[in-house]
Every structure is written in structure tokens, then in C-alpha cells.
Amino acid sequence: MNHYERIKATLQQHPVDRVPVNLWAHMPEVDQNPKLLARKQIEFAKKYDFDFIKLMPFGLYGVEDYGAEVKYFTKLDHPAVLHRPGITTYQDWNRLQPLSGTYGTYGKQVELANYARDFSKNQFPIVQTIFTPLTNALKLSGDRLLLDIKEHPEAVKYALSVLAETTINFIKENINAGVDGFFFATQTATSNLFTREEYLEFGEPFDKVVLDAFKDKTWFNIAHIHGDHTYFDIVSKYPVQALNWHDRSVSPSLSEARKLTNKTLIGGLHELPYRNKDTGEIEQPSILKSGNPKQILTHVQEAIREVDAKGIIIGPGCVASQSIPEKNIYAIRSAVLGESNITAEFG
């Protein structure tokens, strides 16, 4: 099977020659150059024979054009961070206006999609990363959003509608660029930030407006549910083909999720460090960084067995570190073939 056939069969719960697998990480040393980022991502996928390309624009691309000031490090494992928010008073929400999908930083990510399609020569399904309106609002304003939702809800709703419209414009340009789907990421579907009622009022309705723009136009769409204490039951019902979340560190597990949904599950790799449950301090780096190839084999095959190797794509719960040893990346890829293959290769 080629990569397209394997992914499509998995999404349809059909038999596959092996479980699909992918690993993605930010590439901050090149992600301000869409041509170079596209080339690096395609080279990475080819080197390890991964099954699709999740485009990796820097995480703040959706808010820079709205006045957020971003600090760049342009080096390994140092993604850009918010230096100064774009929303500093509640009146600022009402000043937002829809942007073209090719405007400014958004336009650079459309270039990324175009370059990736050209460089991949149709070898890999390509998925563009987009963020929910409420997630972009949080990135744009920081903690101010939590206050304004309570004190100035109509101003926030106006801004969310604008952010949704801009995202839809961006989606249309990416579809024109030939992407196969979208990685629809929410970092706000969690009780750590919003009550369930708040998410149903300020999150879900605007999510659905955006989803309507691509749900019937692309075939490989993924909802990413970031964080813990998430509203998994809400997001898992979105009209997408696959779900991705931190299954190794938060509820539900893969086996629990399989009882809740028949969508394809993307996960199984614990990309986060292990923390002390009482203090929250890091006790050990991610197994992907600190483990050996045999441990990676066991780790991956545990995930596959959880769902009887059906309807699963092996991948991280979120972005992985760029510092994963190469032998472990090869081990992740080899592990989907079975224990004998990795034992023979790594001893």
C-alpha cells in the first residue's frame, strides 16, 4: 500500500498492510521560510517513511497579523513565543477585521502548503494546521480573554466571528493549494480555562462555523484536543475523520476512546516529560528522548494492542521534541512492523 491507500483504509476501518505512523515537531530554525520549511518536512517524512505530512507553521501565525508581537529564537527546540499581546483592552476586540487568507503571515503558510505539495510530488497526504477561533483569541489576548468573556461577552463574540471568517479565508486558500485536510487544534476545550457552559457558548458554535468550511471538501481532517481535563465528548463529535490528544498522559486512554467514538485515533506516543504527581516537577524526559529502541518498541506496540490495531495512526499527543535520538525515530517507524523487525535491526 502507498501512503494514501494506507491512510484512507485506516480512516475507513479497513485492513492495512501495517499501522500508519507519523511524528511531527516544530522546526523553529526554518519555520519563517515557507520554502525551506516545506523542504525540510518532506525530507523528514521521506527519511523515516512516515505516512502523512502535518504542516508545522509556527504556533502564533494566526495572531501576528492582528497585532500580537512575537519573539523568535530561530533555533532547535525553541519555538516562537508571545512577546506582547495584540489585545490589551476590551475595546480592542471590536477593532478586529477579517483578513484575506493570503495576507501577511497567513499568506506565508499558504506558500508553505503550495511548496509542500510541489516538493512531495503526491507521495504523502498533506494536512494544514489551523486553530479554533477561541484558541486564537486566547493567543491574541492572554488571560484577558478569561475576564472579557465574563464582563464583555458581546465584544468577544464579535472578535470570534472575525477570527472565524479569517480562518475560513485561509482554509479556502489552502484547499486551492491542494491540501488533503486540516489539523483543527483547540487549546481551549478544557475546564482549566473555561466552564463547560462557556465552551458551549464561546467555543463550539464558532468551531462549527469553521468546520463547515472544509468538512465536505477535504477527506483527512483531524481534531486535536490539547491539554488535560478536556471536553473530549464535545470535540470528539465534530465532523472530522480522526482525533488526536495526549492519550498517554490524560483521559481518555486509547482503549477508553475507542468505546466513545468510531473515529480514527491518532496517538500512542508519550511526547511529554514525566512529572511528579504531587509537585508537578519533571522527573524524567519523554520516553521518546530517554528510552532505548527496545523500550520504544514496547511503547508503540502497547498502543497498537489497546485498539487491536484497528483505526489507529501512531503519532504524538502533540508536537514532539526535535531532540529525539535518531535511533528512536527509526524505532518508532519500525515498531509498527512488529517486534521481530525492530529486534533484528537494533538487537
Specify whether 150 is located in the same domain as 211. Answer: yes
Establish if 345 belongs to a structural domain.
yes
Taking CA atoms, 306 is separated from 9, 248, 289, in Å, by 19, 12, 23
Specify whether 186 is located in the same domain as 46. Answer: yes
Specify the pairing of strand 181-186 against strand 126-131. parallel
Establish if 7 belongs to a structural domain.
no
3-state helix, strand, coil in the chain (%, to 5): 45, 15, 40
Establish if 164 belongs to a structural domain.
yes
Give me the number of domains the chain comprises. 2
C-alpha cell of 73?
529564537
How many helices (DSSP H) and strands (DSSP E) are in the chain? 14, 11
Give the pLDDT of residue 279.
Answer: 81
Residue 225 and residue 49: Cα distance in Å, rounded? 26
Taking CA atoms, 163 is separated from 68, 185, 247, 326, 347, in Å, by 14, 14, 29, 39, 52
Specify whether 276 is located in the same domain as 147. Answer: no
Give the pLDDT of residue 266.
Answer: 98
Give the pLDDT of residue 342.
Answer: 47
Give the pLDDT of residue 123.
Answer: 97
Specify whether 155 is located in the same domain as 270. Answer: no
Establish if 13 belongs to a structural domain.
no
Residue 315 is part of which domain span? 264-347
pLDDT tens for the chain, residues 1 to 347:
999 999 999 999 999 999 999 999 999 999 999 999 999 999 999 999 999 999 999 999 999 999 999 999 999 999 999 999 999 999 999 999 999 999 999 999 999 999 999 999 999 999 999 999 999 999 999 999 999 999 999 999 999 999 999 999 999 999 999 999 999 999 999 999 999 999 999 999 999 999 999 999 999 999 999 999 999 999 999 999 999 999 999 999 999 999 999 999 999 999 998 888 778 888 889 999 999 999 999 999 999 999 999 999 999 999 999 999 999 999 999 999 965 454 445 44
Give the pLDDT of residue 338.
Answer: 66
Per DSSP, 65 falls in state G
Which residues 6+ apart lie within 8 Å of 21 measured at CB? 50, 51, 300, 313, 314, 315, 332, 333, 335, 336
Beta strands in the chain (DSSP E): 53-54, 69-71, 81-84, 126-131, 181-186, 222-225, 242-245, 264-269, 274-275, 282-284, 312-316
Specify whether 97 is located in the same domain as 132. Answer: yes
| 315 strand-pairing partners | 268
Q: What is the pTM of this model?
A: 0.96
Specify whether 206 is located in the same domain as 332. Answer: no
Establish if 255 belongs to a structural domain.
no
Specify whether 270 is located in the same domain as 241. Answer: no
